Amino acid sequence: MVENFDEWFHDILENANITDSRYPIKGMAIWMPYGFQIRKHSMNIIKKLLDKDHEEVLFPMLVPESELAKEGIHVKGFEDEVYWVTKGGQRELNEQLALRPTSETAIYPMYSLWIRTHMDLPIKYYQIVNTFRYETKHTRPLIRVREITTFKEAHTAHSTKEESDEQIQDFIAIYKEFFDELGIPYLISKRPEWDKFPGADYTMAFDVIMPNGKTLQIGTIHNLGQTFAKTFDITFEDKDGEHKLVYQTCAGVSDRVIASVIGIHGDETGLRLPPKVSPNQVTIIPILFKKGKEEVLAKCAEIKAQLEETGLRVNIDDRDIRPGKKFHDWELKGTPLKLELGPRDLENNITVAMRRDEGKKIEIALDSSLSDNVIDLLNKTQENLSESAWNFQKSHVKFTERLDEIKDLVETGNVVKFHWCGDEAIGRDIEEKTGYDILGIQEEISEGECISGKGNAKYIALMAKTY
C-alpha cells in the first residue's frame, strides 16, 4: 500500500492515462482512453450480473422542477446541490429543469403509468447514466465530483413488503459478486437513521477502507417502502381486486468503484489491475536486436493470436524505445502479466513471464500449454490481489470498548467497531465527541454494554473517517 495516498491517487490518474482534471469546470474530468477501458470492463461486469434478472433502460437527463419537488423529504436532501437549466436558446423556460442528481423523480411518474395490476409486477429496471451534484465540498476526481459520469442506478417495484426486502438481499448478493470480481473488500452496514437516503425506510451500504484509512462508500441499496409510491401514486390492482401501493427499492454504484479499484490495488510503482478489468491482460514486450528482429516480432504476433483465441486481451509493445522504459510504462499502467521475448528466448522456445502483483519472473514454454499457463497466472494474480486487499482491510477493523480509544484507532488508519444501543441522540453524541461518522450497524447483538456507558448494546456499529 502506498504512502501519501491522496497525492499518489492524484498523480496516478494523470500518469496512467485514466482521467484528466484540467477540464475548465471544477469537479468535472475527462475519461482518457486507458481509464475508459477500465471503466468499460468494470461496467460490463455489473451489467452482466444485473441482466440476469433486471432490464436496462434509459431515462431523460432532465427532470421538471414540479416532479423533483413532489417528494418533500427527498427534495430536501438534494435541493442544495441541484444544477438548474433555466434557459433554452435566448428564452427563459416556463419551468426550470433539474440535471438529475439521481432518477427517482424521473422514473417513478412513469411507473405510475406503467403499473396497472399485479401482473405488471415486479418491475426491475436499471440504467447507467451521468448525474450531477453541485458539490460545495472539495472535489476529487472519481471520488467527489460534480458530474458523476457513471451512475448505475436500479429501481424496482413490488407487490409486497416481503418481496422488497428480498430484493434488498438480491442487490447485496449482486454487489458482493461485483466487488469480488474486482477484488475489492467491503464492509456492509445499515446506515444510521440520520444518514439514510432521503425518502428511504432504510439504507444498506458498502464501504471500503482506502489506503489512507478513510472509508469510501462504493454502493448503496435503499428500501424505499411506500414513500414514493404515495407521492407518485404508484398503485396496482391485486389478485383480490383491491388497489394497493407498490413497495420500492433502489440501488446505486458510481465512478467510485473505479476509484477503489485503482486505490486499493495500486502500489508505489503504479497500478496493479485485476485481470478482469485490465484493458490489457497480457502485454508482450519484444526484446529486439538488429539480428533476428523479424523472427522475434513474428513470434510475438503468433503468441498474441494464440492467447486471443481464448478470449484474452493482449497487446504487443513494439515501440522503438528501450525495453526498460516499456517495463516501467506497463508497471505504471498495471497490466497483470508481462511476457518478455528476446532472440535467446526464441531459441529456447520460452518466454519470460512477470506477474505485476509479485514482480517475480518465471519461464514458460512456448507450446500448446502456453494459454493454460497464462490463464493460470492471471487467475493467481486475481486471487492474490483480492486476498491482499482483504487482509489489509481485516487488519484495519478494530474493536474497542472505550470511547476515548476511538480517536487513536481512527487516526492510525482503522475503522472502529463498538457496541451501541442504537439510540439516535446517543449516536450523534458519539459522533460529536469523536469527530467521526458512524457508518452504520454491522450486526445485531443480544448482550454487551453501549460504548456510551448509558445502557445495553443492541448493535455492533462501525465508525470511521469518511471521504
Q: How far apart are CA 77 and CA 222, in angstroms?
A: 15
Taking the complex as a whole, the smallest distance from the CB of residue 444 to a second copy amounts, in Å, to 38
CA distance 351 to 364: 6
- Tell me the sheet residues that pair with 258: none
Specify burial of residue 237 (Cβ count, 10 A radius: 0-12, 13-18, 19+).
Answer: middle
The correct pick among 1, 2, 30, 332 for binding a second copy (CB under 8 A) is: 30
Q: Does 88 bind a second copy (CB under 8 A)?
A: yes
Of 35-43, 202-210, 361-369, 439-447, which part binds a second copy (CB under 8 A)?
35-43
Residue 90 binds a second copy, judged by CB under 8 A:
yes
Backbone φ and ψ of 410, nearest 5°: -65, -40
The C-alpha atoms of residue 295 and residue 343 are separated, in whole angstroms, by: 8
In the complex, minimum distance from the CB of residue 92 to a second copy, in angstroms, rounded to a whole number: 10
Window contacting a second copy (CB under 8 A); options: 77-85, 270-278, 364-372, 419-427: 77-85
Nearer to a second copy, 143 or 341 (CB): 143
Minimum CB separation from a second copy for residue 28, in Å?
4
Q: How many residues appear in the chain? A: 467
Residue 329 binds to a second copy (criterion: CB under 8 A)? no
Per the CB < 8 A criterion, the answer to whether 459 and 452 are in contact is no
Q: Which of 4, 23, 53, 305 binds a second copy (CB under 8 A)?
A: 23
| Alpha helices (H) along 316-356 | 323-332, 343-348
Sheet (strand 314-316) strand order: 314-316, 282-286, 337-341, 350-355, 361-365
Note whether 94 binds a second copy by CB under 8 A: no
Site stretch for a second copy (CB under 8 A), options 90-98, 190-198, 287-295, 397-405: 90-98
One-letter identity of residue 440: G
The pair phi, psi for residue 43, each rounded to 5°, is -65, -35
From the CB of 82, what's the least distance to a second copy, in Å?
6
The verdict on 420 binding a second copy (CB under 8 A) reads no
- According to CB under 8 A, which one of 48, 76, 87, 402 is a site residue for a second copy? 87
Read off the DSSP letter of residue 270: B
Residue 79 engages a second copy in binding (rule: CB under 8 A): yes
Q: Which stretch binds a second copy (CB under 8 A): 69-77, 104-112, 345-353, 440-448?
A: 104-112
Residue 24, number of CB atoms within 10 A of its CB: 5
At position 309, the amino acid (one-letter code) is: E
Residue 233 interacts with a second copy (CB under 8 A)? Answer: no
Q: Candidates 57-65, 350-358, 388-396, 446-454 — which segment interacts with a second copy by CB under 8 A? A: 57-65
Contact 189, 208 (CB under 8 A): no
C-alpha grid cell for residue 106?
424521473
* Binding flag, residue 301, a second copy (CB under 8 A): no
Residue closer to a second copy by CB (options 58, 425) is 58
Contact string (CB under 8 A) for a second copy, positions 121-140, x = contact? ----x----x-x-x-x----
Which residue's C-alpha cell is 452496514? Answer: 189
- Residue of the chain from 2, 6, 10, 36 that contacts a second copy (CB under 8 A): 36
Residues in the interface with a second copy (CB under 8 A) total 52
DSSP strands (E only) in 159-257: 187-190, 202-209, 215-225, 235-237, 243-245, 247-253
Residue pair 49/291 in contact (Cβ under 8 Å)? The answer is: no
- Which value, in Å, is the radius of gyration of the alpha carbons in the chain? 25
Least distance in angstroms from the C-beta of 102 to a second copy: 15
Q: Choose between 61 and 297: whose C-beta lies nearer to a second copy.
A: 61
Q: Residues 146-185 vs a second copy: string with x where CB under 8 A?
A: -x-x------------------------------------
Which of 14, 20, 177, 437 forms a contact with a second copy (CB under 8 A)? 20
H runs (alpha helix) in 284-342? 293-308, 323-332
The minimum distance between CB 22 and a second copy, in angstroms, equals 6
Helix (H) or strand (E) holding 173: helix 161-182
29 touches a second copy by CB under 8 A: yes
- Chain residues binding a second copy by CB under 8 A are 20, 22-25, 28-33, 36-37, 39-40, 55-62, 64, 66-67, 79-90, 96-97, 99, 106, 109-110, 113, 125, 130, 132, 134, 136, 147, 149
